[in-house]
């Protein structure tokens, strides 16, 4: 089994202005995340049957699901106040 590691460095200093910006920034990125989660759910469903019928994974579906998982991890660490590094509104390829 493979493990996934996502490392967030501890920073004692935190921006007060960033705390207010965080709430406004999280709204559009949440909307993007919801849309991505719907697309990723459909991709997981299709990927299941692709593996079941052909016995191999489809690369594009794999990359789409991975993009969602990375975006969710970055969004959640930002909204949980673990980091001040903003995630992009649109996911990176």
Domain ranges of the chain: 33-86
Length of the chain counted residue by residue: 93
- Please identify every stretch of the chain with a pLDDT value under 50, giving residue numbers as ranges: none
Amino acid 57: pLDDT: 93
pTM of the complete model: 0.80
SS3 57: coil
Nearest alpha carbon to residue 68 among 45, 87, 40, 92: 40
- pLDDT at position 17: 83
């Amino acid at each position: 089994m493979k493990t996934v590691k996502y490392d967030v460095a501890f920073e004692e200093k935190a921006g007060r202005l960033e705390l207010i910006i965080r709430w406004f920034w999280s709204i559009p990125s949440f909307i993007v995340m919801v849309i991505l989660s719907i697309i990723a759910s459909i991709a997981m469903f299709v990927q299941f049957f692709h593996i079941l019928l052909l016995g191999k994974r489809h690369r594009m579906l794999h990359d789409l699901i991975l993009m969602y998982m990375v975006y969710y991890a970055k969004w959640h660490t930002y909204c949980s106040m673990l980091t001040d590094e903003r995630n992009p509104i649109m996911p990176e390829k």
